[in-house]
Structure 1
Amino acid sequence: MAITGIGSGLDIQGMVAALVNAEAAPKTAQLNRLEKATTTKFSALGQFRSALSDFQKTVKDLNSASLFEKRTATSGKTDIFTVSADTKAVAGSYSVQVYSLAQSSKVALQGFTDPTSSLGAGELEISFGGDAPLKINVTDEASGLAGIRDAINAAGKEKGLSATIVNDPSGAGGARLVLSSTKSGVGNDISVAVSRGGAELQKLAFPPPAFDTTDPLAPKVITQAADAKFAIDGIQMSSKSNAVADAIDGVTLTLKGAQPQEELDNANTISLTVGEDRAGVKTSLKSFVDGYNKLMTTVGSLTKVTAVGGDSGQPLTGGLVGDASVRSFMTGIRGDLGNPVGSGGLKILSDLGISTQRDGTLKIDDTKLDKVLADNFGQLSSFLTGDGGLMAKLEKTLEPYTKSDGIIDSRTKGLQNTLDSVDDQREALTRRVGKLETRLLDQFNRMDTLIGQMSGTSDYLAGVLGSLPGVVKQSK
């Protein structure tokens, strides 16, 4: 709502606002344009740096000699054994036979017709390998089978020994403790000695001097600890564990099952093959190509100019159109990809079957790449990795743009300073136009007061003159 001058009848508030807006408008428009352009470039540089960082990670992953040292290992029958290999493994083929698996010990102790009765307090010593016997304290309060089971499980949890209670539904075999060990291999059988306790507790001793096979309550061996038996290239071997890590250098076999006796009788063998991890290298190369193409797509969108509304329309431009940093980077990376590396048979990416398309992206010829992986695997490593390899050159080109306080980081900080400056200039403009508004309002209000006074004086004089004798009053 406009405020009208009392003395003059003028819209003083409106007049002052118009003058203030006229003073502020050019500077405001300038700051808005500067802020928009700076924000657009700030955002575009952030996208550019993010794309460069993603591509840089792909380049670093490929610039690793260990990638070419990885080995694959294949089992001819994974239900008999599986296999893995590390960088120490040498490519080759082997013939394997598996006769038996390594077993751990499992025993059933003396059976009791009344599982709830107390066996009395005392101490058990359980041996199940090379460690010192596991001592189990049996208290009066927990001297039944359940209490002894719980004491064994608590003490043996971290050592690979467990106990459970098995009940014979017919009652003939009673209830008994069954002890299981996780330690496989000859010499790791479970034995139980009662170092302290009465006659009932002594019945848990295992093995006793002799087993009475006719007594259904007699203790029993369920499985005996045994070594795995197998052969590699006809050489007979054994292992306390089913995970065999020291038979072939750099190769670990995990035995899963024994071969059927018929196969063993016929001397049937299972193949074990160790080879170079060519599939892994190919996957890394494809990731490199995908990463490069993603980078080129991002750069293309940030430097694209799109016509709008025909010749007269204002074109839409990407945030980094004509940007010197982008031009410099593109020149560098294209030079890296196009210039020869080393002196071997592989010098440029096209020798691998990776070529540049018209839109600047890369494309893989799988047939050509597979041939290189098969015929020149060792040379491929020297072409891609090491100080003189292609990936090292790309990393050197990328680093100035992605590192802290690098090219993009410095430019981003400069743009942020510009945005801060815009905020400061807006605050200064607000203060200046505020002072201008105050001054104009004061001037116009004083003018309005003066006009009011003059109008009052004029009316007074007109009244006095009109009342003088001889003055003819005009009819209204």
Structure 2
Amino acid sequence: MTTTTSTTSSSNISATLAAAAQSIISGATNSSLDVSTLVGSLVTAKTTAQATQIANKTSSDNTLLSAVSQIKSALSSLQSSLSGLSDGTALAAYTATASGSGLTATAGTSAVAGSYEIKVNNVASAQKISSTAHAATDTFGTGTLTLSLGSTSMNVALDGTNTLASIASSINSANDNPGISATIVTGTDGQHLVLASKTTGASNSISVTAGAGVDSSLSYSAGSSNYTETSQAKDASLTVDGTAVTSSTNTLTTAIGGVTLNLASAAAGSTQTLTVASDTTKEKSTIKSFVDAYNSFVSQAAALSTFDSTKAAGSQGGVLLGDSMLQTIRSTLANIVTSGVASTSGSTSVTTNLASIGIDLQDDGTLSIDDSKLSTALSNNPTRVQQLFSQTNGIGKQLSSKITTFLQTGGIIDTRTTALNADLKSLTDQTAKLQTYADSLTSQYNSQFTALNTLMATMQNNTAYLTQLFGGTNSAGALATNK
């Protein structure tokens, strides 16, 4: 290859020098020498071979870098799909379904499959009180109005001009408001100040104390005639399989281990059955996502490393055909997928593989799913599925761990990427040096051929002068005429 490049370069230089000779001859026959074109041709002939070599290597490195990046991306996607399968959370998914209305529930990974009888006596509610009627222009004295919600209080200062509307505004805008909203409801009898707790529960009841100088009609405590209680502050009350449970809110996180109960008013007075079961739909979806991501990696790797005889010569092999890095990654992951997972049952060692739950290896290295068989395994033999994807040595755990070693700093992908980037930097440096060399040659040749062109012009002038003096073809010359 080097010999061919050298021969080609020599041929180019020889051709350019021949052009230079022809230009010199032209100069001798009263033509000017095209120095710029001649210099450009010589410099190109001297640098083209190396420039082409650098360009080709740069293109090759960039193509390889792109291919490695595609493999890295496919591996990252595969690892993401394994998150729930490598830590066990995907196969610990549960659904919680109530038999009636007003009760919903969500089950976490610590839930236990089973059914529970839930009787809801009442749901949690927030207190709301409405004052007696007042005219819109009524004022309520000067002093402090103290409002409390449970054990937390706030103060509203009255200056003698405050109406119900301005009092309500002051309550709502107070920075230390403990969670009381105030509105004005206008009826046929006048205006009512309506105070409502923003928090449910029996402990979050409202009280209002009118200080010295403030109209006592604004005061309220339990049983007070100044206000009408339109909604009582109550805790949610229910029984779970006969066990009494109370809660200040309608979201209960501790009544059933791993399950969150949510109550709505429609549940009050009802008795329902809550069923907690494995969420096979979610589990299947997670497993399918893993298979899709694995197949995507296999397809991507094949596209980059397959030999295609139908393509033009020179482009038949994938950019990573025969690449040791890719071969290592493919064989490592394929071995994990096909080997299965060993477990112990009593004194017997048992190996469970993907095929046992309906996931089969195809001739092209991809995986296919028998949907019916997978559904049956998830419903009837969840233990087998959990063995395959255990948190200790399951397929998901093994694959994720290996991918981490491939992707980590210093791993085979990082090492390859670093080497390619270093080579590209070296090629950039070589390009800069070649350009410096070309600039130097251009300057050198420009000086030489400009001097030559000047010399040739001088010689031409001298020849014309001597011909005038001594004569030439068909001319006797000035000296011959004046002898």
Normalising by structure 1, we get a TM-score of 0.83
SS at match of 2:139: coil
Deviations 1:214-245 (A, max 9, x none): xxxx6322122233343333445444332233
Q: Distance in 2 between matches of 1:435 and 1:260?
A: 93
Aligned with residue 220 of structure 1, among 224, 228, 245: 228
Residues 1:117 and 2:138 are matched in the alignment: yes
SS at match of 2:104: strand
Aligned with residue 196 of structure 1, among 190, 212, 217: 212
Letter aligned with residue 294 of structure 1: S
Q: Is the 8 A contact 1:100 1:230 kept in 2?
A: yes
Letter aligned with residue 370 of structure 1: S
> In the TM superposition, what is the alpha-carbon distance from 1:40 to its structure 2 partner?
1.0
Aligned with residue 263 of structure 2, among 222, 230, 255: 255
- Aligned pairs (5 A) from 1:132-171: 132-141=152-161, 143-155=162-174, 158-168=177-187, 170=188
Deviations 1:237-290 (A, max 9, x none): 4443322333323322221124587xx6xxxx3210112333332222111111
Q: Is the 8 A contact 1:156 1:162 kept in 2?
A: no
Q: Distance in 1 between matches of 2:120 and 2:479?
A: 147
Letter aligned with residue 333 of structure 2: I
> In the TM superposition, what is the alpha-carbon distance from 1:34 to its structure 2 partner?
1.2
> In the TM superposition, what is the alpha-carbon distance from 1:93 to its structure 2 partner?
0.4
Deviations 1:186-233 (A, max 9, x none): 4544333323225xx11222259774xxxxxx6322122233343333
Q: Is the 8 A contact 2:103 2:262 kept in 1?
A: yes
1:126 aligned residue: 147
Q: Distance in 1 between matches of 2:82 and 2:264?
A: 39
Identity of aligned residues (%): 30
Q: Is the 8 A contact 1:7 1:453 kept in 2?
A: no
Letter aligned with residue 423 of structure 2: T
Aligned with residue 445 of structure 2, among 410, 422, 440: 440
Deviations 1:392-435 (A, max 9, x none): 32233323321123212222222222222222222222232333
Q: Is the 8 A contact 2:123 2:267 kept in 1?
A: no
Instruction: Sort the Cα spacing of 1:369 and 1:422 in 2 relative to 1 into closer, same or farther, 3 A.
Output: same
> In the TM superposition, what is the alpha-carbon distance from 1:453 to its structure 2 partner?
4.3
Q: Distance in 2 between matches of 1:40 and 1:75?
A: 57
SS at match of 2:265: coil
Q: Distance in 1 between matches of 2:391 and 2:59?
A: 45
Q: Is the 8 A contact 2:340 2:388 kept in 1?
A: no
Normalising by structure 2, we get a TM-score of 0.82
Q: Distance in 1 between matches of 2:243 and 2:463?
A: 132
> In the TM superposition, what is the alpha-carbon distance from 1:67 to its structure 2 partner?
3.4
Deviations 1:368-397 (A, max 9, x none): 212221233234333323332222322333
Instruction: Note the residue ranges of structure 1 that are not aligned, 5 or more in a row.
Output: 212-217
Aligned with residue 294 of structure 1, among 293, 296, 308: 296
Deviations 1:304-355 (A, max 9, x none): 344457xx75435433222221112111111111123213555221122111
Aligned with residue 174 of structure 1, among 187, 190, 203: 190
Greater shift in the superposed pair: 363-372 or 243-252: 243-252
SS at match of 1:84: strand
SS at match of 1:98: strand
Q: Distance in 2 between matches of 1:281 and 1:6?
A: 88
Residues 1:23 and 2:43 are matched in the alignment: no
Q: Distance in 1 between matches of 2:194 and 2:324?
A: 78
> In the TM superposition, what is the alpha-carbon distance from 1:160 to its structure 2 partner?
1.9
- Aligned pairs (5 A) from 1:385-396: 385-396=390-401
Q: Is the 8 A contact 1:227 1:240 kept in 2?
A: yes
Q: Is the 8 A contact 1:337 1:349 kept in 2?
A: yes
Aligned with residue 102 of structure 2, among 69, 74, 80: 80
- Cα RMSD (Å) of the superposition? 3.1
Instruction: Sort the Cα spacing of 1:443 and 1:84 in 2 relative to 1 into closer, same or farther, 3 A.
Output: closer
Q: Distance in 2 between matches of 1:463 and 1:368?
A: 111
Instruction: Sort the Cα spacing of 1:57 and 1:219 in 2 relative to 1 into closer, same or farther, 3 A.
Output: closer
2:381 aligned residue: 376
Q: Distance in 1 between matches of 2:333 and 2:262?
A: 47
Aligned with residue 48 of structure 1, among 71, 79, 93: 71
Instruction: Sort the Cα spacing of 1:439 and 1:7 in 2 relative to 1 into closer, same or farther, 3 A.
Output: farther
Q: Is the 8 A contact 2:352 2:387 kept in 1?
A: no
1:420 aligned residue: 425
Q: Distance in 2 between matches of 1:11 and 1:377?
A: 90
Deviations 1:1-45 (A, max 9, x none): x99875553644244333332222212221221111111111111
Q: Is the 8 A contact 2:201 2:248 kept in 1?
A: yes
Q: Is the 8 A contact 1:76 1:272 kept in 2?
A: yes
> In the TM superposition, what is the alpha-carbon distance from 1:158 to its structure 2 partner?
4.6
2:62 aligned residue: 39
Instruction: Sort the Cα spacing of 1:396 and 1:99 in 2 relative to 1 into closer, same or farther, 3 A.
Output: closer
1:341 aligned residue: 341
Instruction: Sort the Cα spacing of 1:22 and 1:326 in 2 relative to 1 into closer, same or farther, 3 A.
Output: same
1:62 aligned residue: 85
1:105 aligned residue: 127
Higher relative contact order (CA 8 A, sep 6+): 1
Q: Is the 8 A contact 1:186 1:227 kept in 2?
A: yes
> In the TM superposition, what is the alpha-carbon distance from 1:145 to its structure 2 partner?
0.8
> In the TM superposition, what is the alpha-carbon distance from 1:177 to its structure 2 partner?
0.7
Q: Distance in 1 between matches of 2:296 and 2:157?
A: 67
Letter aligned with residue 85 of structure 1: A
Q: Distance in 1 between matches of 2:240 and 2:74?
A: 51
Q: Is the 8 A contact 1:111 1:219 kept in 2?
A: no
- Aligned pairs (5 A) from 1:83-94: 83-94=105-116
Q: Distance in 2 between matches of 1:185 and 1:364?
A: 51
Residues 1:230 and 2:241 are matched in the alignment: no
Q: Is the 8 A contact 1:98 1:257 kept in 2?
A: no
Q: Is the 8 A contact 1:307 1:315 kept in 2?
A: no
Q: Distance in 1 between matches of 2:315 and 2:103?
A: 66
Residues 1:282 and 2:290 are matched in the alignment: no
Letter aligned with residue 138 of structure 1: L
